[in-house]
Structure 1
Amino acid sequence: MKANNKKTPVHSRPSHQVRIIGGIWKRTPLTVIVAEGLRPTPDRVRETVFNWLNFLLAGGWQEQRCLDLFAGSGALGFEAASRGASELTMVEYHTPAFKQLEQVKQKLGADTVTLLRADALTVVTGMATRQQKVDLIFLDPPFGQGILQKILPVCAKLLSAKGLLYVEAEHSLIIDDKTQEKPDWLEGWEIIRADQAGSVYFHILQRSNLVHDMPEIQA
């Protein structure tokens, strides 16, 4: 959900809206600005993802420290905050998108939300150096820029013992061919849930050594 910073239109303007689908701010609209590469997670995808998360977290949002990288419209982060996440840090580099996030935070009175106008890789690297931990990471980077390969290994250092990571990508992260080796940047991760909506693939990942402890997820 991050704008491509190299091709930002000179005049960004409001285009359409998505809505928070659950929690205390249910049905609140979020304006999506026009910007190259900004693609908010659709309502129907978020509904599926948050159903997964509700099951995996056993409804325990109040204990979740969340990090929303490439926050864009804020659809994922504000959804988590609406459902009661104890802390939420949203990272967005694109200035018009960041200003829109500031307006939404003020409108909602979202005191548990911290906004950072910064480069996502720089932020997670700094957090890892300081040995900070989070319980849930939303990772929805621009497509076609090789960002997942760089940032996933660092995200692994940030997650708490049973932390979860949500990823959107332009291709599936599942390796179907048994003869194909898992790429280095996916080492240490297991995909515990995945689906596709149009040209977008979305996944929930957890570190490999914890997957055997996870309950089976019903479709």
Structure 2
Amino acid sequence: MGGEKKGLVLLDFWVSPFAQRCRIALAEKGLVYESLEQELLGDKSDLLLGSNPVHKKVPVLLHDGRAVCESLVILEYIEDAFPGAAPQLLPADPYARAQARFWADYVDKRVYSCGTRLWKLKGEGRAAARAEMLETLRTLDAELGDKAFFGGEALGFVDVTLIPLTSWFYSYEKQGGFSVEEECPRLAEWARRCGERESVAKVLTAPEEVHDFIGLLKKHYGLE
């Protein structure tokens, strides 16, 4: 399916927050991999289509040619396949692991899809997306509380899931007319703290570049 190449290969896209999750996790664990940039708005590669025939999208992690799809599944796979690679992003305690999975799933289902509606829709649709986004960010701000990271004192599964989406906050703020700093100050401070980590700083796309990319998407979908 993924060819004969050995080792780790990430089918990637420069601005994808889902692919960036994988890059951060791999960097945190010190795992060597090759990134293969994919075309997503034009003709997709045979490698991508063959590796992820169901969803036909990035990220895909090829491990010795075998494909693992979907970013949260990839994060868990990295944990399982390389148990000796520290740090462990998922806690050892079963209850804490379940909580981490719950909040990662919450991020996965709410933030990006809601943000997409913010820039795609107008009028009542955008107003509804704005209300949902604020509810979501406030919920995450409350869950973070006064902790350094979502799991406590160490960067973990939920942090890696959410961090790449912070580059999109600038665009969400402009489309929704709100400020993450004002609405969710603890979340904003957490984003700054995470952004200082080498694994994160090397991966995150500048907010202005994300905003330009959203403009490209609008043209692609005929919204401008």
Greater percentage in helix: 2
TM-score bracket relative to the smaller structure: 0.3 to 0.5
Q: For the pair shown, which has the larger CA radius of gyration, 1 or 2?
A: 2
Higher RCO (CA < 8 A, seq sep 6+): 2
TM-score by length of 1: 0.34
Greater percentage in strand: 1
